[in-house]
Amino acid sequence: MTAPIRTATRCIVLTALALATGEAMAANDEVRVGMQLEPPNLDPTGGAAAAIDEVVYANLFEGLTRFGPDGSVLPGLASEWSVDEQGQAYVFTLRSGVTFHDGEPFTAEDVVFSLDRARADESTNAQKALFENIEQVEAIDDTTVRITLSEPSGDLPFNLAWGDAVMLDEASAADAATAPVGTGPFRFERWVQGDRVELVRFDDYWGEPVALGKATFKFISEPTAAFAAMMAGDLDAFPVFPAPENLAQFEADPRFEVSVGSTEGETILAMNNARAPLSDVRVRRAIAKAVNRQDIIDGAMFGYGTPIGTHFAPHNPAYVDLVEQSAYDPDGAKSLLEQAGVTDLTLSLKLPPPAYARRGGEIIAAQLREVGIRTDIENLEWAQWLEQVFKGRDFDLTIVSHTEPMDLNIYARPDYYFQYDDADFQALMATFATETDADERQRLLGEAQRTIADAQVNAYLFQLAKTGVVAAGLSGMWENMPTQANDLTGVSWSE
Amino acid sequence: MLAWFAGRLASLVATLLAASLVVFLVIEVVPGDPAAYMLGMNASEETVAALRAELGLDRSGIARYLDWIGGWLRGDFGTSYTYRTPIADMVAERITVSVPLALLALALAILLAFPAALFAAARRGGGADTGIMGLTQLGIAVPNFWFAMLLVLLFAIKLRWLPSGGFPGWEAGLGAALSALLLPAVALALPQASILTRVMRSSLIDALGEDYLRTARAKGLSSRAALWRHALRNAMIPVLTIIGLQFSFLLAGAIIIENVFYLPGLGRLVFQAISSRDLVVVESVVMLLVGAVVLVTFLVDVAYVWVDPRLRSR
């Protein structure tokens, strides 16, 4: 080869190498976040997948209120709100100068549109129950909205903070699944299906501009691949890291920080209250006493998780610690079973895919065998679980984690899959729903927790921990997960 | 010749129709409601029913089957339940990853297998032959996903030469895209190369024992020239069959490798669609793969005729 051709070849080779290795370096205002599940679409108001909110909540879409990192309800697109004496009419004052990503202004009309769309008869919003109480939404003027409820309720600001209640613009709502347009500090750039979603900073955001210029969510379902991606530097953070067995290695590595926080996921051993012999509270209490929570946390969750004694999150200020009530007591369990006249019991244990269920299920089966209860374990996929257990109620025992915040009211639904039917509890929850005084609400919550613990509706195991791995130098990632979201608004590189 | 061609084409269409019926029936029997899966645990019965109606799931099986087949003839491959986008678009995107990956893996496999097989056949019975056979044994026995993870540990984590997975897209440049496909292709190529080497070696040895080889040697050709010019072409038939089968396998069966390297390919698409009961996607992608396999078999048949003159008179 002649000299110019040799130089040219060398240039081409070097450029190719540079292009190839370029991916590994992230600019200081870019962050690459890993997620296990890919959202099926990007409209949080159209489906139940938590993965949707994990990408768009607070980043792309905003609601009238929003959740803070500790689960408290903070102002969002509404700067303040007031409620009348009966607790039946709320007036929200909206911020001015807010625009959607496509330039359309945000006004009270958009609030009316979004909430009416969510509560419409044909809407496929997965949390329609949140909007059931709303009788009318009207725009008083461009920045004021009045929401009238059919019954007084203290829950409205909390309900409006959910991802299912975010604000959309009528012009762009139809395409929200594939081309989402919101009011958040990031706007949608691109979705390479199966691989990643890219968001970039929205320059006309109404509030504080975010420190990050670009955020990429990469979808990696395989735990080993997630480990490889973090170690190779292809990712900057993995908020819900799927391979807890590797966490010790990340802790020992100065390039990473492991953050352990809590979630709203109450993991329970659900029991079919409508089926004998589980309809006998003594049998349910026996099963709860036969279970050793710490063994399950250590064996199935690598030590990450907080024991719970009722269906409520321990980090919540209203939490009542009732763990001791159903503490590990195999002898007590055996005597309760004797009292109930139950011998030679075999129960079906149907387990969905997550590790807390599959691994936890085997540990529980062994613990139950110690008190003389045999279990038939059946491993199901989510679709089968939904069909057989959730819809068909064809099960004795199952293990599942309920990740919605403040979901005590599922115990007030007699047709919910575990079929707990107590009129007193239903009345209690109805009173709570209409109560607006904060202290009284806390008292009622305590009473509710005690009721379902005493009735031992299910065996309450532990609260799911959020174990995340973050590159050292990246600050602002939420430690807890009060709602299924990855709020990147406060994230920045500190070097 | 023309009659043979037409006959093959007709059997291709018949195979596709039969396969479509089988695929549809199997998917119908699978339990699990896509609408319930999509809406999760908190949705009410009415919402789930509304979604079922929207997706057209409340119609009869026959109506849906005819709709599906009719859609193909119009060029409409349906819309995914979960993603709400046309399946043709999704598949087109995923094919840009799966097909180059399969081709790259096949090319690597052929590049490794041919010299190895020729070398082993030429020195059959000797130490080199035994060595190569031992290596192919290892290549077939080692699970390709385990090998993939070793490659990631070495090249991505330790040396940082290549990414640990993902696909940046062809628009990120040829270099970036190829470097993302390199490790997966190597992991896929290893067992394929081993199989190919063994098949080719034994087929070459058979050809070397034929009479026309003895004539060639008697006429004065060197051992190597005889191998190259005469044995190789005729030994190709079984090798072509295997290559055709391997390409079909690489296209659909790379799902484990696609998971290890989180590549947005066809295998992962089908896997996720099965979990979320996105029936239309599963049916359409499976039919696409059936079509691809049938097409590849057809091309291999044509290639036989081209490679082996003894078949041309047919």
- In chain A (495 residues long), the average pLDDT of successive 10-residue segments reads 60 50 58 90 82 92 91 90 86 93 93 91 77 89 92 86 92 89 94 90 92 94 89 93 89 93 93 93 95 94 93 90 94 94 93 92 96 94 87 93 88 92 93 84 94 95 94 91 89 85
Chain A, window 162-201: residues with a beta carbon less than 8 angstroms from a chain B beta carbon: 177-178, 192-196
Set of chain A residues whose Cβ sits within 8 Å of the Cβ of B83: 40-41, 177, 193
Both tokens assigned to A361: 């299920």
Antiparallel, parallel or unpaired: β A345-351 and A397-402:
parallel
Q: Is the ipTM of this complex over 0.85?
A: no
CB contact under 8 A, A383 and B36: yes
How many helices (DSSP H) and strands (DSSP E) are in chain A? 14, 19
Antiparallel, parallel or unpaired: β A345-351 and A373-379:
parallel
pLDDT at A147: 93
CB contact under 8 A, B157 and A231: yes
**Quick one: average pLDDT of B27-49?**
75
pLDDT at A5: 64
CB contact under 8 A, A232 and B156: yes
**Quick one: average pLDDT of B99-119?**
93
* B272-281: pLDDT as tens digits: 888 777 888 8
pLDDT at A6: 66
pLDDT at A24: 43
pLDDT at A71: 80
pLDDT at A4: 61
Chain A, window 17-56: residues with a beta carbon less than 8 angstroms from a chain B beta carbon: 17, 19-24, 38, 40-41, 47-49
**Quick one: average pLDDT of B185-199?**
94
Set of chain A residues whose Cβ sits within 8 Å of the Cβ of B94: 193-194
Check residue A74 and give left, alpha or beta (phi > 0: left; psi -120 to 50: alpha).
beta
The single residue listed with the structure tokens 């050709």 is B221
Q: How far apart are CA A159 and CA A66, in angstroms?
A: 9
Beta-carbon contacts of A364 under 8 Å, excluding residues fewer than 6 positions away, are: A269, A291, A296, A349, A375, A397, A399
Chain B, window 149-178: residues with a beta carbon less than 8 angstroms from a chain A beta carbon: 149, 152-153, 156-157, 160-169, 172-176, 178
Beta-carbon contacts of B88 under 8 Å, excluding residues fewer than 6 positions away, are: B75, B76, B77
Q: How far apart are CA B241 and CA B301, in angstroms?
A: 8
pLDDT at A198: 95
Could you tell me which residue, B53 or A336, shows the higher pLDDT?
A336
The C-alpha of A16 sits at a distance from chain B's nearest C-alpha, in angstroms, of: 5
* A273-292: pLDDT as tens digits: 999 899 999 999 999 999 99
B57 touches chain A (CB under 8 A): no
pLDDT at B313: 63
Using CA of residue A18, residue A24, residue A30, residue A34, what is the dihedral sign? Answer: positive
Chain A, window 208-227: residues with a beta carbon less than 8 angstroms from a chain B beta carbon: 218-222, 224-225
Check whether B228 has a pLDDT greater than 50: yes
CA angle A236, A237, A241 (to 5 degrees): 140
The C-alpha of B238 sits at a distance from chain A's nearest C-alpha, in angstroms, of: 37
- Residue A227 CA to chain centroid, in angstroms? 22
DSSP alpha helices (H): ranges in A132-175?
A: 156-159, 170-173
Q: How far apart are CA B213 and CA B217, in angstroms?
A: 6
**Is the preceding omega at residue B143 within 30 degrees of 0, hence cis?**
no
pTM: 0.81
B251-254 own/partner pairs: CB under 8 Å, 24+ apart: B251/B98, B251/B99, B251/B102, B251/B289, B251/B292, B252/B289, B252/B292, B252/B293, B254/B98, B254/B101, B254/B102, B254/B105, B254/B184, B254/B188
CB contact under 8 A, B42 and A126: yes
CB contact under 8 A, B264 and A384: no
CA angle B213, B217, B219 (to 5 degrees): 115
Could you tell me which residue, A23 or B75, shows the higher pLDDT?
B75
Using CA of residue B16, residue B21, residue B23, residue B24, what is the dihedral sign? Answer: positive
Q: What are the φ and ψ backbone dihedral angles of A204, each rounded to 5 degrees? A: -100, 30
Side-chain-facing half-sphere of A208: CA atoms under 13 Å:
8
Q: What are the φ and ψ backbone dihedral angles of A493, each rounded to 5 degrees? A: -90, 130
pLDDT at A8: 57
Q: Which residues of A352-369 are buried (b: 16+ CB within 10 A; e: fewer)?
A: bebebbebbbbbbbebbe
The single residue listed with the structure tokens 């799911």 is A464
* B243-277: pLDDT as tens digits: 988 888 888 778 889 888 999 988 888 888 887 77
Set of chain B residues whose Cβ sits within 8 Å of the Cβ of A122: 50
The C-alpha of B245 sits at a distance from chain A's nearest C-alpha, in angstroms, of: 27
pLDDT at A2: 59
Averaged pLDDT score across all residues of chain B: 85
Name the residue type at position A456: Q
Cβ of A252: how many Cβ atoms within 10 Å?
9
pLDDT at A25: 46
CB contact under 8 A, A229 and B160: no
